[in-house]
Amino acid sequence: MPADRLALPVPPSPPPPWRFPVVAVIAPVVVSVAIWALTGSVFALVFAALGPVTAVATLVDQRWSGRRSRSRELDRFRRDGERLAREISSAHAQERAALEEAAPHGALLVAAPSTDRGRWRYADGPLGVSVGVGRVPSALELDPVPREGDESVLSRLRELVESAAAFEGPVIVDALLGIGVCGPRRSVMSAVRGLIVQCARALPPQEWWVRVSRPGEESSWLDALPHSLRSGTATGFTVEFGRRGSPVPVVVIAAAATEAQLPPSCRVVLAVSSGSPGRLVAHPHRSHRREVVPAFLSRLDAAEWARAAAFDARAAGLAPVESALPDAVALSGLLGPPEPTAFPSLRCVIGVGAEGPVAVDLVADGPHAVVGGTTGSGKSELLVSWVIAMAAAHSPERVSVLLVDFKGGSAFAPLAGLPHTVGIITDLDAAQAERALASLRAELRYREREIALAGGRSIEDTALPRLVIVVDEFAAMLAEHPDLHALFGDIAARGRSLGVHLVLCTQRPASAVRDGVLANADLRISLRVNNAADSTAVVGSPAASELAPEARGRAIITAGGEPRTVQVAIAAVEDARAVVDRWAGSPPPRRPWCDPLPARVLASELGPVAGIPLGLLDLPEEQRRAAAAFDPRTDGHLLILGAPRSGRSTALSAVAEAVVPSEPAGAWDAVCQLVADMDAGRLSGPVVLAIDDIDALVPRFSGEHRLAWVDLLSRVLREGAAHGITVVVAAQRLVGELASVAALVPSRLLLRHSSKQDWLLAGGETSTAVLEGPPGRGRFRGERIQVVHSEPAPVLGSVEWDRLDPGRPIAVATGRAAAVAASLAAGGFHVIGVDGLPAHGGPLAGTAVVGDLDEWQSRWGALGALRSSSEILLEGCAPADVRALTRSRALPPPLPAEPGACWRLRPDGSVGRAILPRRGRA
């Protein structure tokens, strides 16, 4: 307040000082003596006494006059002091009135709510509120008190100065500092009510919100405030005021039992008690800490003021629009009869605004819509209600709905049974989501063709239904599939003419939806968002960031005009059932995508195919599925690659009647026999050579056999087609020698792999990798396939063994002569060494000639001599030793891991397999 200077009363003037009249006393004496001297009359000396008499008289007169003057000055000083006291009192009254007008306490506001012309005037700067009555410093300024003078006068002057320095008046503090009140609960809440009412009276309701934590009984009147009310999470009873567009509170008022329980944001603390004055115990300025008689306000009076203020705010158009909306709206009360079909429209009612039901139309308001909202704001409920309302108003022949939910699919569960729903895509299977979205590209091409065939320019020239694609968590979808930016940009640009409409829902539209899509999405809906930037990006204003957190389903809608505040309707299960019943007789809509491939496909389900039934192909780009066949004549050899339990053996069984044995000896025999038949021209019809787990089979061969067998197989791959031979090989991965084998196989079936790296090494592209799915799921000829289920194919014949002639002796060359000799002796043979051979003729039947390799080498030609009369067996030696002893260049067949397995030198010079005779067996 501006200072007002007042003058102190002038102190009483002191009486003039008394002076002895020396001249007046001496002059008469001198004159009397002079007259006596001239006249000689003694009588003349009488005049000498006039001087002292006159002096005394003058002294008496001065003292009497001084008393009278002093009395007059004191009366004047007293009157001036009283007048100054009245002026001080009047000035203090004016100051008090000014303070009460600037910050009237709650009781004053309740007394005259309708005549309060200071309501909602706050714009900026300090926000003064009255916490009660106390000694308030005055703006008056008085002259300084003289340092010297009559003590009684000085005391009076000091008294006047002290009375002017302060007065009993409203103690006003800045509410922006945060105010906390502590003490007994009843007294505390009475004081806090007055503070809340003062703040609510000053802050414009259309610009400020109120957030209340732990309202308890106080909610009965706080709910009536004209401001937008929000629920807070602070500890204890706390009321916060903040500007719309910012979640940060500006004013904090808190209540607690003790000062320590108040939040740190309360820099001003008022301690109250029952029956005695309170005190400002905390304030940033120490001079403001003083005793205060709090201003109390009852809950009844506070409620009366809140209701009156809310009424006046609505009448003046100052209350926020959402305060007039219901907290919840049932969709069932908004569903009307179907919309007329005379004009293209997707109009439907989705909620209630200040003026009644609110309808949106993707055709007239769109063609596309963007929906924003933070977690818990009601996005999913909005989408469900919108789809049900649209399905109730329009038949499946006019509109179909494709739902994309990247939150798991549960949000759209109530919509699965609608006749308009053509599919629900979820994020549970990334591959299935990708194939379904790929179908959308095909849908655009399909609609272009239909419009062209009809000779029209847009969907309105055809009988095609409109397709509404609803995407929940659009940002999550793009994070997993960034290439879809281009697809949705294409749909956004051409959707109006093709009849494809997008409803894209996400928490952060500003960062998730590109400008190309936003430019074509004129229909904007934003539920509560966390900041003004997100709200402005969607609806062009910060209004959505100012919606109360507890107002679930409260939204701002804009469609080319001013934003409207709407309470979105909530759909019930009965609403979806009513839609199903309404369109029970309608034919199902055409689906823009096929169902995902099943986990199990039988060959009988594929129908007639040209070749061997292999599986079911998924062709999302063509919006269909087709049978896949393997034709050896055109496809050539086939390589099947996949992770463990990916269905490799099942796929192999689907195209082959039998498979090669999984152990080296059997696989060697099968390939060698096929090569022999091929060389001899003995093949009369198509032959399929199937080898399972070849990557596990090849390492089990010994070094020489491995290279030889791979060479034989490679020859079959190169020359087999001319003889009607088709090789089908299954493996987990291509390693070592298999790389050269794989290069000779033109066709590949890639089943599920463990990682994209493995898929890439198998010859696939990382963008088409199949990393999930049931056994038999993979890609064939670049398309996704589910291989037919078939029983495991039988294994080809067992390993071939030569039968020994029991009537002939045996000759054994071995690397463990002692052990073999003991075994044969135990089996009933007469065992002799190489040195014991007779000079002429061979050994007798029942004789076993056993020697190590060196002994037989030293008797060069002995084995050859015995070939015609004895069984020649080679055990426990390397293939090179066999070739050296038998003088043959041919590689002997690999021996299986069988006890007693050995090579047998046949009479014709070839090498076969045999089993050493054991006990009781010849």
Count other Cβ atoms within 10 Å, centred on residue 631: 15
Spell out the SS3 assignment of 733-765.
Answer: CCCCCHHHHHCCCCEEEEECCCCHHHHHHCCCC
For residue 297, what are the CA distances in angstroms to 82, 106, 196, 441, 730? 38, 6, 10, 68, 87
Helices (H) and strands (E) in the chain, counts: 27, 36
Angle, alpha carbons 77-83-85 (nearest 5°): 100
The answer to whether 103 touches 198, Cβ cutoff 8 Å, is yes
Count other Cβ atoms within 10 Å, centred on residue 264: 8
Is 373 annotated for ligand binding?
Answer: yes
Whole-angstrom distance, CA of residue 556 vs CA of residue 526 = 5
Whole-angstrom distance, CA of residue 366 vs CA of residue 631 = 51
Q: Which two tokens stand for residue 344?
A: 């293209």
Given phi > 0 = left and psi -120 to 50 = alpha, else beta, which region is 273? beta
SS3 103: coil
The answer to whether 899 touches 707, Cβ cutoff 8 Å, is no
Angle, alpha carbons 725-726-728 (nearest 5°): 145
For residue 551, what are the CA distances in angstroms to 163, 325, 707? 55, 10, 76
Whole-angstrom distance, CA of residue 905 vs CA of residue 802 = 10
Residues linked to residue 730 through DSSP beta bridges, in sequence order: 640
The answer to whether 140 touches 88, Cβ cutoff 8 Å, is yes
Whole-angstrom distance, CA of residue 897 vs CA of residue 700 = 11
Q: Is 539 exposed, middle or buried (0-12, 13-18, 19+ CB in 10 A)?
A: buried
Count other Cβ atoms within 10 Å, centred on residue 516: 15
Q: Which two tokens stand for residue 22?
A: 């020396």
Is 650 annotated for ligand binding?
Answer: no
Question: Max CA-CA distance within the chain?
Answer: 222
Whole-angstrom distance, CA of residue 516 vs CA of residue 513 = 8
Is 768 annotated for ligand binding?
Answer: no
Is 377 annotated for ligand binding?
Answer: yes
Phi and psi at 830, nearest 5°, equal -90, 110
Q: How many residues does the chain have?
A: 922
Q: Judge if the upstream peptide bond of residue 367 is cis by omega within 30 degrees of 0.
A: yes
Q: Hey, what's the torsion of the CAs at 116, 121, 125, 126, to 10 degrees?
A: 20
Place of tokens 């309170």: 278
Beta strands 783-787; 777-780: pairing state: antiparallel
Is 374 annotated for ligand binding?
Answer: yes
Phi and psi at 672, nearest 5°, equal -60, -40
Residues linked to residue 786 through DSSP beta bridges, in sequence order: 616, 777
- What is residue 580's DSSP assignment? H
Which DSSP string corresponds to 775-822?
A: TTEEEETTEEEEEBP-PPPPBPP----PPP-TTS-EEEEES-HHHHHH
SS3 300: helix
Whole-angstrom distance, CA of residue 239 vs CA of residue 215 = 9
- What is residue 570's DSSP assignment? B
The answer to whether 277 touches 293, Cβ cutoff 8 Å, is yes
| Residues 412-424: b if buried by 16+ CB within 10 A, e if exposed | bebbeebbbbbbb
Q: Which two tokens stand for residue 425?
A: 């895509």
Binding annotation:
373-380
Annotated binding site for ATP: 373-380
